[in-house]
Structure 1
Amino acid sequence: MNKEAAVYRRKKIVKYLLIHLAIIAFVVVCVYPLLRILSVSMRPGDKLISTDLSLIPAGAAFDAYVRLLKETLFLRWLWNSLLITVATSFIGVSLASTAAYAFSRFRFAGKKGGLILLLSTQMIPAGMLILPLFLMIMKLGLMNTYLGMIIAYSVSSLPFSIWILKGYYDTIPRSLEEAALVDGTSQVGAFWRIILPLSTPALSIAFLFNFTTAWNEYLVARVVLFSSKQYTWTLGLFELQGQYITQWGMFAAGSMLVTIPVLIVFLYSSKWLISGLTLGSVKG
């Protein structure tokens, strides 16, 4: 019996160590590139092209950050990206939440076909959507505008958001809505007071998807925007790459700074990702 217990403990310890080693290896693989970019951003100008692998370079300084903020429109690019991304995220999640509720709760002609159509749009390569989006925005007279970018991004992210939210709505018992309707609440009231509070994890995932997709997008922005003052950060940093020279220090500094908004949004919304389905539920 003692032998079996000892063998069991040994296996448990080995399993525990292997799991934690795998987690540590995964973290290193994810974090190391960021540390390398941070290292490049702090290198003096005469040491940008170097074989030194130390994470903290000799003579580390923040000159690249200062030059980026003073010599370029980086803050303007960052503001443009933030404005477009936040608007896209809220509009996309708002439209997707109502559309997903209709697909989840109501019966209507073309429901299955609509869901299949939404799914099939995700199989189309992003590059093939550039021309239709360009023509749509051009005919609306929204070239080189924030609104044109917001419309393009919102339309592109809707199918995935609808599928995520529709699947989550399907897991919420209809009895919760029925109880609210019996108490005199309207269908809209039941959706607003019952379904949405219970769907905060899925709403957070949809919001993060919309945010990160719009924040990192380049192709649509390259087609729609042509004024440097309207550029998003992806276009702005690309301008640092010249025909004969690339400002690698400033490029790395910008790459580090643009991760801050995404990190803040993720940390703020993470508490909603772990919330359960018990909020507002009924007993019995």
Structure 2
Amino acid sequence: MKIDGRFWLTKNDKSFLGSGRIELLEKIAQTGSINAAAKEMKMSYKAAWERINSMNELADEPIILRTIGGKGGGGTKLTDYAYELINTYKKLDELHRQFINRFSEAGDNPEHLAQILNRLFLTTSARNQLLATISQITINKINAVISMEIAGGGTLHSSITAKSAESMNLRVGSEVYGIIKSSDIQITTQKPQDTAKTNVIEGVVESIISNETDSEITLQINEKFSLTSSTSNKELQQLKQGDKAFAVIDYANVIIGL
């Protein structure tokens, strides 16, 4: 048994955007014709036009532009607003897919599903929460090292108890969050030589904010995520915006969140 779900956007209590309508818009963009798009989707022109007309009636702006005749013949193209709708739908659909995948981890176990639901509404004061996929689990009776691939690129390791890994039902391929307090991250310009049980993540200094005693450093690690470190001004190195630097984090300071 598998949990599944379809994603639709509605407007004024009417169906507005779904995967089929998005595909139709993309086919129109590719072919320049509603008729050609309909043929590729194996539907009638009438059915395709009804879908386009339904979207147009609900949209805040027109979604297609039609030209008739002329030197190059007539055709149909999408408006800039239509492309915005496509991008918005795809981003929301991806979030919905991740949401459903989290449910699917429970399989046919209602108790585990209840745990996942409870965690979805859990908030934490930790500044750094990296979405990642478990790539390896190494257990030595008492402890477990969870290796994760960070969304957007990069690797993160966490050391937790074997009992915690079992109770959380962690599996290779599971999507999790690597949660790290800003005070547990050291930012340095020199890559450490001894990296045993230590994460070393390369990035670029995005910003430094300081007051009389403390500083907050944001390190951009990829297109999706950054890490924020808090430190005293006494420990602040000669860092400046744009510098290449390294975030140093002990395995034990990375909390796993579902």
TM normalised by structure 1 equals: 0.22
Bigger strand fraction: 2
